[in-house]
Structure 1
């Protein structure tokens, strides 16, 4: 009996080790299955999730317009400075006017310059200017309108293409005429939209700046200019009066002839009256 007990004790330790090993292996397998299941679930969730929408950055369309006016001591020097700035920034003159007032001489130049160089151009033009009589800069964002017009244009062109496809398949004259009518209307709308799109593109690519600079005229010089202007106006009025008389010379000639015969008749009448009075 004692020997049997010893045998059982000797077998108990190996059996306990084997049982512990099996228990550990089962627990580890369950954990691996749970991990695999979790990974598969996460992958499935990731596949079912919608892909993030990639937003394409829009190019902002800004229309810049400005007006500046200032006084200068030398009109020629200021004109030279503005001309150098125009050449430097590859701008161009849209319009140019010159006014000769009694108290000042002024010039106004409207310049179109690349929108990205608008601020730098103003800085070069305003060199040496201590005070602006007027400085007004306006910026209008037309990005939304520009994108909307592009979308409308794309839709109109797709509609035009569908009409052209239907026109190729049309067999009846009435169908052809109706499709051509619709096609002409769509083409007119496309040209109108394209015109607006070109205008916005041009206005946002090139900014507009109106520059007015003037030089004050002393009062003595102003009086001399008024006197000179009065002489000039009097001469011009005399010339126009002479031209007017030349234009109506036939009527003047008729009036002279009529007056000549009327005076002659009047003299004859007076002579007859005198003769009759002396006879009586």
Structure 2
């Protein structure tokens, strides 16, 4: 490795220290120890849910959800409302402390006759968390060793190479810290999507029937007039023909009498 090179100087970083760091960088597999850790540690579960149901009162259901969120010290996320001819619906996303997940679901279920969707999921991330945590610990220890070696470096080449290794380790450590924080957040707070809706019955009132009938009649009248305009020459000729025939008939009757 270039770190061992110092232009032949005996004042550079000792080869023994570099070798120790290289050996430390090699991953060590200890499945038995990891399994023991998983068994002894509390399981880390990410619990999420999705509910969808019909309600008779949208406002009352909204108040029920808000009260439950406040009761269990959660918070409301995004909320969308939709209105169509046959349905009014609202979808809300809430975050609830995982320890209160079951209680919250039970409170929301009160008064619901039947769920269209009730999807409860749990994902165990214990092993992933312990694995990332262990690898991050190793990288931090390796970073500390490089920091000690950096203090003993006496030429630019050694300094640059050691700093490059430290920067690479620091980037990995920050990425792992971000992953651990994300897992902790997902484990501590459950995400629940709730969709509730009210069916709007399609009722045709007398006024609406009258209005529809009037529009339909007017539309038919317009089409009738348009048809007359298109055939007016034929109507005119037919009228003349009828007049001539009637005159002829009248004349014949007069002669016979």
| SS of structure 2 residue aligned to 1:220 | coil
What is the aligned partner in structure 1 of residue 199 from structure 2?
A: 216
Q: CA deviation at 1:102?
A: 2.3
Distance in 2 between the 1:220 and 1:174 partners? Answer: 84
Return the structure number with greater relative CO, CA threshold 8 A, min gap 6. 2
5 Å-filtered alignment, 1:7-156, equals 57-156=40-139
Match of 1:202 in 2: 185
Q: How many residues align?
A: 169
More helix by share: 1
Does 1:169 pair with 2:148?
no
User: d(CA) in 2 for partners of 1:159 and 1:106?
Assistant: 55
Structure 2, gaps ≥5 residues long: 1-32, 209-257
Which of structures 1 and 2 has the bigger CA Rg?
A: 1
Determine the C-alpha separation between the residues in 1 that align with 2:81 and 2:157: 61
Residue 133 (structure 1) shift = 0.5
| TM-score w.r.t. length of structure 1 | 0.58
Q: RMSD over aligned Cα, in angstroms?
A: 1.6
Which runs of 4 or more aligned residues in structure 1 lie more than 2 Å from their structure 2 counterparts after TM superposition? none
In the TM superposition, residue 130 of structure 1 has moved relative to its aligned partner by 0.7
Q: State the TM-score, normalized to the length of structure 2.
A: 0.63
Q: Secondary structure at the match of 2:203?
A: helix
